[in-house]
Amino acid sequence: MSHASSDSAIMADFLRELARLAAEQTLPRFRRALAVDNKEEGAFDPVTEADREAERVIREAIEKQFPDDGIQGEEFGQLRAEAARRWVIDPVDGTRSFICGIPLWGTLVGLLDEGEARIGLLSQPFLGEVFIADGESAFLERGDDRRPLTVSDCRSLSAARMFTTDPALWKGDEKDGFEALRQDVRLMRYGADCYAFGMLADGRADLVAESGLNSYDIMALIPIIRQAGGVIGRVDGGPAEKAGTVLAAATLELFEAARARLRGEEA
């Protein structure tokens, strides 16, 4: 086994452990009576004990294993923000789905190394699914079953299956671009949050477009898409690591066509 392969195997084992620890906090609280707090005045940004406790155990494990690395989490902020390596955590991406009992939420953990997202975890414990990008490849695990993640070969908007979380999140000029793209794709689905990116990596969707993302919403998903063979970036041409309005696609041709529509250009 090469040194790189050995490092990847070690990292994959660590991600599995993070998934297990988080699931111990989220699953017992899913589809149970649970207090919901609102983090934002004038809007609804829910958070629950599941979010906080899952992030707590993930942070503790990272601090123990990688004490010099930085940590950024949705619920508890940043630690060692100047570190070259930074773990980015969304303990429950899709809290709205979580509190409604819809199993399309997930635990996200990504590793940003010198500005590039290299390692990623998407765990959906209710479905028993763990999506991992270990730095070399991406794969999906269900129990003892493991198989590689590979995107589809879709190249045209007219054949594309597309996801976005909520069309109401697209505002202003971006809304016009989204509507143009929505009308051009074959199939449009809503409400899958992070799970849509897992479906793209697994070849079951072809496009995912999201507006207003924070770094913890996307960092774990970037390496999963890339290491499954897909393309991901900001609609304005910047790297996906900068978050914001992000597009992911199975192929470069599809990415460019969708990006042109979102920007109001000819595909």
Task: Give the residue among 264, 201, 266, 256 at the shortest CA–CA distance from 233.
Answer: 256
**Residue 217 counted as an annotated binding residue:** yes
**Residue 90 counted as an annotated binding residue:** yes
Angle at 115 between CA 247 and CA 236, to 5 degrees: 30
**Residue 93 counted as an annotated binding residue:** yes
DSSP string spanning the chain?
Answer: --HHHHHHHHHHHHHHHHHHHHHHHHGGGTTS---EEE-STTS--EEEHHHHHHHHHHHHHHHHH-TTSEEEETTTEEESTT-SEEEEEEEEE-HHHHHTT-TT-EEEEEEEETTEEEEEEEEETTTTEEEEE-SS-EEEEETTEEEE--------GGG-EEEES-GGG--HHHHHHHHHHHHHSSEEEE--TTHHHHHHHTTS-SEEEEEEE-HHHHTTHHHHHHHTT-EEEETTSS-GGG-EEEEEESSHHHHHHHHHHHTT---
- Residue 245 CA to residue 174 CA, distance in Å, equals 9
**Residue 236 counted as an annotated binding residue:** no
Scored b (16 or more CB within 10 A) or e, 206-226 reads bbbbbbebebbbbbbbbbbbb
Binding site listing: 74, 90, 93, 217
Please enumerate, by residue number, every residue annotated as part of a binding site for Mg(2+): 74, 90, 93, 217
